[in-house]
Amino acid sequence: MKIDDLQLKIILDSRQEKTLEVQMASGNYYVKSSAPQGKSRGEKEASFISAEEALEKFQNIKSGLLKKEFSSLKEFDNFLIKLDGTPNKSNLGGNLMLVLSMAFCRLQAKEEKKELYQFLREELIHNFPLLDPVLTDYQPPYFFFNVINGGKHSPFGPNFQEYLIVPQTQNSEESLNLAKIYFAGLKSWFLKNNYPLSYGDEGGLVFPEKDDEKPLAILKEVRKDLLLDDKIKFSLDAAASTFLKKEDDSPVDFYLKIINNYQLLSLEDPFHEDDLENFKKLKSLIKDQCFIIGDDLTVTDANLIEKAITRQAIDGVIIKPSQKGTITETLEAIGLSLKNQLKIIVSHRSGETMDDFIADLSVAANAWGLKSGNITQKEREIKYQRVKKINDIASR
């Protein structure tokens, strides 16, 4: 495929911060892609450059990209990786590389007259042929809705970053309805108890007290009042690198207590990202009672995921293309995870755009979950809606 036209624009994300949008055209086809941005970024993520710097870098590489014929996504991404020439993408920036890589996928899918999720699934099967049966036996992802925002995603409140509800249905419409009902119930609880309604970065409520357990107790009470005990489970993203150091006393006992008291479905990043030993310890203590998920620990990097697998430290991984910077490498991380029976949760970032690429990625990867914040923000709801639409197409 030859790219005929390529433009880079600065747009605003859900936090009203500058981010990148690429427009790419080939023949009769034209696509757009935009980059999300994280706030609780793992140390080992691909580098991130400012939107202004990205515009400059883009001008330097644009003509090279327009001149060349690319026969595959892999060839396109490898060309970018070579142009960048650094181990952590600090030259071109992971964000600039990612918008280009995503746009190329979309364009290639259009040329091949495929939906994006079909194109991505075929790329995965092409690279990991043994995964064909796993990937073609499609089960829609569970939705992980963030209802209380803490940590870096909130001006004050608990250390833990995300208190999530997970409706226990793979029917997208039913899941979205349950989320609506539950969130309305949670807002009523806040009002009844004289807590103000204010919202964090991912559209969940801000809980004003510095207490990590109380939000879970509230979530449980609301679920009981709504008679939804058998329909909704809870998950947590502690994002512990934002408040724990590797050498800090380990809160293993606290985690054991809350896993039991609230029957947590999954627990993401319970320890500092360099503290693999405690991930392993907690996982061995809880067996399969609750799934331990790596995010800052593994940053969508096949080598780090492999290391965590070898140490038996995790049951699943968060997949964020923006942590790695190209879709080819993101698919490598997914393939390796699936080969090792890890659960996959494809995730948005705390600064989001109207790009719904990750919805197609979650379907292509047959992910266990899609984590896209709260439906109160259009940038997040659009991803859940895209999965719903794909499911509607698939069931026709």
Under rule CB under 6 A, residue 13 binds ligand PEP: no
- Considering the complex, state which of residue 121 and residue 380 has its C-beta at the smaller distance from ligand PEP: 380
Under rule CB under 6 A, residue 40 binds ligand PEP: yes
Residue 7 CB, shortest distance to ligand PEP, in Å, is: 26
- Residue 341's region, left for phi above 0, alpha for psi from -120 to 50, else beta, is left
- Considering the complex, state which of residue 40 and residue 175 has its C-beta at the smaller distance from ligand PEP: 40
Q: Are 15 and 33 in contact (CB under 8 A)?
A: no
Give, as ranges, the residues between 213 and 252 that touch ligand PEP (CB under 6 A). Answer: 237, 239
As a whole number of angstroms, the distance between CA 151 and CA 140 comes to: 30
Under rule CB under 6 A, residue 349 binds ligand PEP: yes
Among 350, 366, 377, 385, binds ligand PEP (CB under 6 A): 350
- Residue 227's region, left for phi above 0, alpha for psi from -120 to 50, else beta, is left
Q: Which stretch binds ligand PEP (CB under 6 A): 38-46, 216-224, 273-281, 384-392?
A: 38-46
**67: number of Cβ within 10 Å:** 9
- Considering the complex, state which of residue 33 and residue 347 has its C-beta at the smaller distance from Mg ion: 347
Under rule CB under 6 A, residue 295 binds ligand PEP: yes
Under rule CB under 6 A, residue 41 binds ligand PEP: yes
19 contacts which partner out of Mg ion, ligand PEP, none, CB within 5 to 8 A by kind? none
- Considering the complex, state which of residue 125 and residue 239 has its C-beta at the smaller distance from ligand PEP: 239
Under rule CB under 6 A, residue 39 binds ligand PEP: yes
Residue 153 CB, shortest distance to ligand PEP, in Å, is: 6
Residue 148 CB, shortest distance to Mg ion, in Å, is: 15
Residue 239 CB, shortest distance to ligand PEP, in Å, is: 5
Under rule CB under 6 A, residue 38 binds ligand PEP: yes
As a whole number of angstroms, the distance between CA 147 and CA 366 comes to: 24
Query: Binding residues for Mg ion, per CB under 5 A?
Result: 237, 239, 295
Q: Which stretch binds ligand PEP (CB under 6 A): 33-41, 53-61, 227-235, 385-393?
A: 33-41
Give, as ranges, the residues between 129 and 158 that touch ligand PEP (CB under 6 A). Answer: none
Nearest to 227, CA basis, from 260, 182, 265: 182
58, with CB counted inside 10 A (0-12, 13-18, 19+), is buried
Residue 252 CB, shortest distance to ligand PEP, in Å, is: 21
- Considering the complex, state which of residue 41 and residue 110 has its C-beta at the smaller distance from ligand PEP: 41
For ligand PEP, the binding residues (CB under 6 A) are 38-41, 161, 237, 239, 295, 318, 347, 349-350
